[in-house]
Chain A
């Protein structure tokens, strides 16, 4: 018996499945997460997978969280150790008093276990081998058998899992019954041979409400459908490929002409990222709403075109699902590391609009909004997701749309407008003083409004010119336009601590759920912090005032160099000493524990050390 008493918890624990890539475990593991949701208990799952297709280790972690904490927690309460390769590491990661679930068909030396954990052996291979002869079936059903055993161990309602299987295999009766059979095999064995349930239990609750369970990439793609994107050009790259794949499947369902059956969209898999962004720019220049989805290396390849989009003022949308860089870095791990690369992408002086959604619901909203923004500002908009939101299911509020909403195509001059007496069309004329000129779509008018688009300098009437003053005038207008953008992009959201405090914290994107939870942990340690979640670049003026209102502000981000902090310092002329970086960049999603410890330690230090010393 473990010295440590077994962990005992209802609806608040972490289960991790260690599998081998290609073993077909993904759907069984996801079924497990969904089953808990159907008990009315929130979950937050995460895929941890290698950059290869077959053979390497994968993990799937399910945080069961009645309190609804959707960030990663850290630590594992129950390990389903199905991968011999990672056994030692997996066993080592279990919390003291936690549980190890393993295939006990072959005896293991005692040295392979830990004294402070609870070991649960199920002879999975023996059960499968005695039931199935086909090797693939043996492999696949083994996953369902361990799922069945887990249901018994965690006291889950078997009807709920069966219902889910029924939904999954609707119309495929044979698959349905064989899966339910496998589920029973595992469950019955566990009930007959093990002490069920263990200390960890799932109890029905009502904490899920009407929330939905969705991946960020799919939500962003749906946002593109709702936002009116008709052209998508892309090149496969993890973790962004599923954006284009989801856009394709959403369009197939939602975007066909009811009479002719023809597509109201065009999707092209480019030969590379250069072609993809070129297609997007060509389509946007010609008045369609177009986007591409990519990740860091793709952004690198696209930068020449991004500069063209900025300077020639062509709207476009790039969804950047960030992964760990630089270069190929850790392609299947998460980071928020392309902030600087995107904000200033391309050569020369450029600045681009970035949007930072926190979850799939916001990914949907911001994606739809990005097309209005691109058209209104006639510039490139970057929707900055990351692998953690993009490729994991997240519980979020239901998606919302206002049917009265029209697309805002920005300043486009029509043939009628061009014909108005006294109307002067200059492609780069700042008519309204907001830095945003009017454009015309090709083919608009037989004699008016045509112009030549180029990356080379030109005057307000789009006439080629390398005159210094004319160039500077144009560059100044682009700055003005960027200032205009400040009030168009989503504003930062502020939440104040229960008690007045001198300290603040700035964070963004997928860090949000961990940050929300960390605030509670910090309060428990006696630290009060006001929070500001940044949702876009250019920064709204409230960012500078938030910093001014606090003695100093932590900036929490998932990269090595504090890229958001750099951007704030650079763009707002803030004394860097006032912004304390809290950085997490090992490729795993940031956790509440990490944030609370890092900020908490710093705060504790402040209590005994003079401020200047502490922050220098």
Chain B
């Protein structure tokens, strides 16, 4: 659904970053997600973070699985290569891409269905392998693209749009990332740009597996009073009709609250989310303390946000494999092929 190219007009007065790029250089196609979808806010934060870091857009590889969230790489960094792979398998594709060229920046975008269900294994293994990447889960607790089934991060006791009660326990991806040894673990809220932008920027700069779980409300499936019929119609036909015409759009939910405080956010369906922002004096270098902190607040019904853990001496998969500094994809026959003399020796050893 990414057919709408943005107009190429550039305002001459737009502010520029160190590289001379404007915000527009970090944008992609116009989003076709539902107006008010938290995923679009995350897109905006990614654009902002890359702009602020003065990244060369084409030096980023953006890789995703399948889902509404996984569509978003088309909506930022239009001059970089993207890869919408298969459902739940973004982590392996990203791992391979990273092995081939360690010089690019790898941004993995996934959904909670993508990462916590079908791709749970790949999520876990890419983290434990310390792939140098920024892994963002746009977590809405539902399957957006297939219309509202529960995902594995949905809370037990929550109700689907159809009124079905979720009886399964939820997977907390942040807790698991911590347990698996991710060297950068954070959680944020799609609408908290002040918190999310610096987190994404820090994650990109971090060497090793950075994981950010971003709570991202889904307007279509936690907006139970929505006009689903016409919405479904549009979705199924993928027509170039602007979805705003048929689905009651909502303003994206935004929040702004001080470190150390709790902010209650009302979602589109009226459910409430208690976000607790980490204190300024929180020690983010203590993995064990992070795990305890997380569990303690979860028990109180609070979702902790902020940078939970970072390892200042982190390593990545290339360090572990001791690969050459030159990207593997630039090596040629003269670098790779042992040639006839080595083959003669091998032949001789096999007689």
Contacts and interface: CB of A to CB of B under 8 A. Distances in A.
Interface of A: 37, 208, 210-214, 222, 225-226, 228, 230-231, 233, 254-255, 257, 260-268, 270-272, 274-288, 290, 304-305, 308, 398-403, 405-407, 440-447, 450-456, 463-466
A278 B81 contact: no
A444 to B, nearest CB: 7
Interface size class of B (residues with CB under 8 A): 35 or more
Contacts of B84: 452-456
A442 B94 contact: no
Given A283-B96, A401-B337, A406-B333, 17 more contacts: A210-B347, A226-B337, A231-B99, A254-B338, A261-B322, A277-B92, A279-B96, A282-B95, A282-B100, A288-B100, A290-B96, A305-B86, A401-B343, A440-B81, A442-B61, A450-B79, A453-B81
Contacts of A463: 2-3
Contacts of B247: none
Contacts of B336: 225, 228, 230, 255, 264
Contacts of B61: 286, 442-443
A279 B328 CA distance: 14
A399 B86 contact: no
B112 to A, nearest CB: 19
B110 interface: no
B80 interface: yes
A286 B101 contact: yes
B238 interface: yes
Given A279-B96, A455-B85, A450 B338 contact: no
A304 B86 contact: yes
Interface in B16-70: 56-59, 61, 63
Contacts of B331: 228, 230, 264
A278 B122 contact: yes
Nearest to A454: B84
A212 B350 contact: yes
A141 B66 CA distance: 59
A410 B285 CA distance: 48
A454 B93 CA distance: 12
A540 B306 CA distance: 61
Contacts of A257: 324
16 contacts: A210-B351, A231-B96, A257-B324, A265-B328, A268-B99, A268-B321, A272-B121, A274-B92, A275-B92, A283-B99, A286-B96, A286-B100, A399-B347, A403-B339, A441-B329, A454-B83
Interface in B93-129: 93-101, 103-104, 121-122, 124-125, 129
Contacts of B78: 450
Given A283-B96, A451-B81, A464-B1, A445 B58 contact: yes
A273 to B, nearest CB: 10
Contacts of A228: 331-333, 336-337
Contact of B93 (A211, A261, A264, A282): A282
A275 B122 contact: yes
A213 B101 contact: no
Contacts of A445: 58
Q: Which of A37, A277, A403 has the most CB of B within 10 A?
A: A403
B342 interface: yes
B90 to A, nearest CB: 8
Contacts of A443: 58-59, 61, 80-81, 101, 103-104
A264 B327 CA distance: 9
Contacts of B328: 230-231, 264-266, 283, 288
B86 A287 contact: no
B323 interface: yes
Leading 3 A-B pairs by shortest Cβ distance: A282-B96, A278-B92, A288-B100
B323 A263 contact: yes
Contact of A262 (B2, B322, B350): B322
Dominant SS among interface residues on chain A: loop
Contacts of A454: 83-84
Contacts of B121: 271-272, 275
B99 A452 contact: no
B163 to A, nearest CB: 32
A195 to B, nearest CB: 34
B280 interface: no
Contacts, number: 236
Name the residue in B93, B121, B122 with the highest tally of chain A Cβ atoms < 10 Å from its Cβ: B93
A271 B122 contact: yes
Nearest to B337: A226
Nearest to B339: A403
B14 interface: no
Nearest to A226: B337
A464 to B, nearest CB: 5
B74 interface: yes
B95 A400 contact: no
Contacts of B89: 274-275, 278, 305
A278 B325 CA distance: 23
B124 to A, nearest CB: 8
A213 B332 CA distance: 30
B96 A280 contact: yes
A510 B329 CA distance: 34
Given A264-B331, A407-B333, A443-B103, A254 B342 contact: yes
A263 B322 contact: yes
A335 B250 CA distance: 60
A213 B93 contact: no
A230 B100 contact: yes
Contact of B79 (A272, A288, A446, A456): A446
Contacts of B74: 452, 464
B340 A401 contact: yes
B68 to A, nearest CB: 14
A442 B101 contact: yes
Most chain A beta carbons < 10 A, residue from B3, B323, B350: B350
Given A264-B324, A405-B333, A464-B3, A279 B57 contact: no
B76 to A, nearest CB: 12
A400 B346 CA distance: 11
Contacts of A213: 350-351
A271 B59 CA distance: 29
Contact of B100 (A231, A260, A262, A446): A231
Nearest to A259: B324
A275 to B, nearest CB: 4
Contacts of B342: 254
A266 B2 contact: no
A308 B133 CA distance: 23
B335 interface: yes
Contacts of B100: 230-231, 282-288, 290
A203 B146 CA distance: 73
Nearest to A218: B350
A453 B83 contact: yes
Contacts of B338: 225-226, 254-255
Nearest to B237: A466
A279 B79 contact: no
A400 B336 CA distance: 16
A39 to B, nearest CB: 13
B82 interface: yes
Nearest to A274: B89
A514 B309 CA distance: 63
Nearest to A38: B351
A255 B337 CA distance: 8
